[in-house]
Chain A
């Protein structure tokens, strides 16, 4: 009987769902914080926390178990070397979901999924803007772009 064995199906077949969740966890490991729909964030969270538990065990067996789920060596390495050790004093609850309201296009509720023990990462739009500005400054057509620059730079300041 599958009493109380809850699976968030996300409208996908089992293999599609497993691949999606593994990819999401790998992205979370790489970027420390991901922005997805609330349903996906809630589905990813248990898997992400289970992977941290494996990371805290630290054994070769745990590493291979994590690799069999995530299928990305870089992500597993970072999980075991960075993310699991910094949550060593925490018994579960390694991730946090922050609701961000509804998406404009399809009104889907969107959320951030992030590590609780990560240093506070504010979504950094400024560095990208700066690099774009530098590139556009180096670019040849200078007449068309300066007004755009000023529009972009003012709201940031």
Chain B
């Protein structure tokens, strides 16, 4: 049976785990209302996309 020769050091373990770190989504700003919007997506708060009204939003 193959068996680890060395104990994994804290640094080696943490370096490996560091690559799994959560990253916040990359958000852009809606040019119409200024709220945060994912890229290439109609703004959920004002309904604008590429300079025109795409959908009507309740309460906007």
Bound-complex Cα distance A33 to B55 (A): 11
Tell me whether B54 and A112 are in contact (CB under 8 A): yes
**Are the CB atoms of B56 and A99 closer together than 8 Å?**
no
At the interface, is chain A mostly helix, strand, loop or mixed? mixed
A123 nearest CB neighbor, chain B only: B55
Q: Are A98 and B58 in contact (CB under 8 A)?
A: no
Q: Which of B40-60 contact A (CB under 8 A)?
A: 40-42, 44, 47, 49, 52-56, 58-60
The count of residues in chain B whose C-beta lies closer than 8 Å to any C-beta of chain A is 15
- Give the chain B neighbours of A123 by CB distance below 8 A: 55-56
Contact A99 B40 (CB under 8 A): yes
Min CB gap A125→B, angstroms:
5
Is the pair A101, B56 in contact by a Cβ cutoff of 8 Å? no
Contact of A98 among B38, B42, B56 (CB under 8 A): B42
Q: At the interface, yes or no: A124 with Cβ under 8 Å from chain B?
A: yes
A111 to chain B, nearest CB (A): 9
Contact B58 A122 (CB under 8 A): no
| In contact, B55 and A101 (Cβ under 8 angstroms) | no
Contacts of B55 in A (CB 8 A): 100, 112, 122-123
Closest 8 CB pairs of A and B: A155-B59, A123-B55, A99-B41, A122-B53, A123-B56, A101-B41, A100-B42, A98-B42
With A120-B52, A155-B60 already in contact, 4 other A-B pairs whose C-beta atoms are closer than 8 Å? A98-B42, A101-B44, A123-B56, A126-B56
Residues of chain A having any CB pair with chain B under 8 Å:
98-101, 112, 120, 122-126, 155-156
